[in-house]
Amino acid sequence: MAGSRRVVLGVSGGIAAYKAADLLRRLTESGLSVRVVPTASALKFVGEPTWAALSGQPVATEVWSAVHEVPHVRLGQEADVVVVAPATADLLARAAHGLADDLLTNTLLTARCPVVFAPAMHTEMWEHPATRENVATLRRRGAIVIEPAVGRLTGADSGKGRLPDPAEISAVVHRVLRRGAEATPDLAGRHVVVSAGGTREYLDPVRFLGNRSSGRQGYALARTAAARGARVTLVAANTVLDAPAGVDVVRVGTTAELRTAVRAAAADADAVVMAAAPADFRPAGLAEHKIKKADDGSAPTVVLVQNPDILAELAAERSRAGQVVVGFAAETGDAAASVLDHGRAKLARKRCDLLVVNEVGEGRAFETADNAAVILGSDGTATEVPFGPKDDLADVIWDLVVKRLALPH
Ligand code: CTP
């Protein structure tokens, strides 16, 4: 494992500890070197042999073992990232108050690397003012606290408090490692709205006009914003992707529904990113019943009407002072103008702050995991982002949004 990035996986004592075994497996299989530090109560849920076997490394459980190696300072000092999953209400409280009463809290105090907490607890505990304050304290100090997922909890309860999907926690850890010291929650306290996917405009109860947008770029934006501490509303049109950890998802179908949902969420938003591909046109009428084939071989004529331009409306209205509005443009160059010329014209027409311009074709943009773009700013700037993961492009977009949010308004 020489040379691989070092992760400390802290596990505190909640039933979700069993899901941390899946997280551990994902982290090690992606080439990371992981040392597991379970608390005493975590070991009541999942025993030491499981952690040792899955990590392929000795498991440090208490400050009093292997004292000559000074584990209570070494583990934290040497880590590239510390992730605590699940983080119980008790663990968050101890971390927020700087206690050092076991090996995991000692490790948290000595760590100088980014720290990620993935909380899991009952909704009442998550919502308790004590926990709210502890989470706020940790975030203020620069820790990344992922919002818990909503769903079935232990027993018959359901609500907010589930451990986010291990694949999502693993994605946050990898992102933090990629960004290193820049992985700070610089969107903490901000509300951002992201739209994703492609809308569908129905002709009849079974047929629709749609487009190829998968929603991946929007999901990448939502995931990265959450990892940077934002409260995120993701308005998703016809996507089949797993909800990113710590993101509120609003599902929509048509452009009209997308418009209503985005405008409602934008009312108190610091930034709105329109990564969705809303259909520009919809059928003038919706047939109540499935349209039947005519016996004479003729085909119906579909009359289309234009949908409102949501991005242009948002940019014109700015429901909050200083709100940053970001659009996307998939363009092809032609004889009259280059891709960037088209992009600049669209930026001016829509009056948004940033326009992310993709050149389409060559297997790019749609339905792929990678993307390249030039981000045009209303201040005349152009930021080139090389071909790479959509999460990386998303992070550059947020970098530019954060800069604009810092400007006086
Ligand atoms: N968009 C929108 N509402 C629409 C259509 C598009 O908010 N009804 C947003 C998209 O989410 C994207 C941006 O506008 O952020 C660019 O969309 P695009 O289809 O490229 O723009 P158009 O104005 O439709 O330009 P074109 O004539 O080139 O299709």
For the domain that residue 138 is a member of, what is the CATH number?
3.40.50.1950
Which of 150, 165, 182 is the last residue in one of the domains? 182
Domain assignment of residue 35, yes or no: yes
Mark whether 252 and 303 lie in a shared domain.
yes
Distance 309 CA to ligand 1 centre (A): 7
Give the position, in ligand 1's atom list, of the atom nearest the Cα of 326.
Answer: 15
CA-342 nearest atom, ligand 1: 28
Protein residue whose Cα sits closest to atom 20 of ligand 1: 329
Structural tokens at position 206: 């079974």
Q: CB of 222 closer than 6 A to ligand 1?
A: no
**Ligand 1: nearest atom to the Cα of 255:** 8
Ligand 1 centroid, distance to 321 Cα (angstroms):
23
Q: Is residue 298 part of a domain?
A: yes
Question: Is 0.75 surpassed by the pTM of this model?
Answer: yes
CA of 187 to the centre of ligand 1 (A): 26
pLDDT of residue 99: 97
> Residue for token digits 């047939």?
287
Separation CA 193–CA 218 (nearest Å):
10
CATH code of the domain covering residue 263: 3.40.50.10300
Task: Give the closest residue (by CA) to ligand 1 atom 16.
Answer: 329
Same structural domain, 126 and 247: no
Q: What is the dihedral of CA 189, 195, 196, 199, to 10 degrees?
A: 160
| Token duo for residue 132 | 């709210």
pLDDT of residue 49: 97
Residues 304 and 397 in one domain: yes
**pLDDT, block means (10 residues), the chain with 409 residues:** 83 97 97 97 97 95 77 88 98 97 95 95 95 91 88 82 92 88 84 98 96 94 90 96 86 98 98 98 95 93 96 94 95 87 95 93 62 93 92 94 92
> Is residue 119 domain-shared with residue 170, that is, in the same domain?
yes
pLDDT in the model for residue 393 = 94
In terms of residue numbers, what domain contains 233? Answer: 191-405
Residues 392 and 251 in one domain: yes
Q: Pick the residue whose CA is nearest to atom 21 on ligand 1.
A: 329
Say yes or no: CB of residue 276 within 6 Å of ligand 1.
yes
Q: Are residues 307 and 354 in the same domain?
A: yes
Residue 1 lies in a domain: no
Do residues 102 and 164 share a domain? Answer: yes
25 and 112 share one domain = yes
Task: Based on the fold, state whether residues 153 and 196 are members of the same structural domain.
Answer: no
User: Is position 76 within any domain?
Assistant: yes
215 lines ligand 1 (CB under 6 A): no
Q: Residue 347 has what pLDDT? A: 97
Residue type present at position 246: G
Instruction: Determine the distance separating the centroid of ligand 1 and the alpha carbon of 150, expressed in angstroms.
Output: 32
Within a domain: 11:
yes
218 lines ligand 1 (CB under 6 A): no
Measured in Å, residue 326 CA sits from the centre of ligand 1 at 11
For ligand 1, the distance from its centroid to the CA atom of residue 105, given in whole angstroms, is 50
Q: Clarify whether residues 95 and 177 are in a common domain.
A: yes
In the reported structure, the alpha carbon of residue 341 is separated from the centroid of ligand 1 by a whole-number distance in angstroms of 16
What was the pLDDT predicted at 360? 81
User: Do 165 and 230 have their domain in common?
Assistant: no
Active site residues: 211
Q: Which atom of ligand 1 is nearest to the CA of 314?
A: 7
Q: Find, among 124, 99, 103, 219, the residue nearest to 165 by Cα.
A: 219
**Is 327 close to ligand 1, i.e. is its CB under 6 Å away?**
yes
Domain for residue 83, yes or no?
Answer: yes
User: Could you tell me if 94 and 72 lie in one domain?
Assistant: yes
From 259, 309, 331, give the residue whose CB has the most ligand 1 atoms within 8 Å, as the site to mutate.
309
Task: Assess if residue 303 is contained within a domain.
Answer: yes
pLDDT for 363 equals 54
Measured CA distances, 145 to 83, 109, 229 (Å)? 10, 16, 7
The residue count for the chain: 409
Domains identified in the chain, total number: 2
Ligand 1 atom closest to residue 313's alpha carbon, by position in its atom list: 7
| Residue 362 confidence (pLDDT) | 57
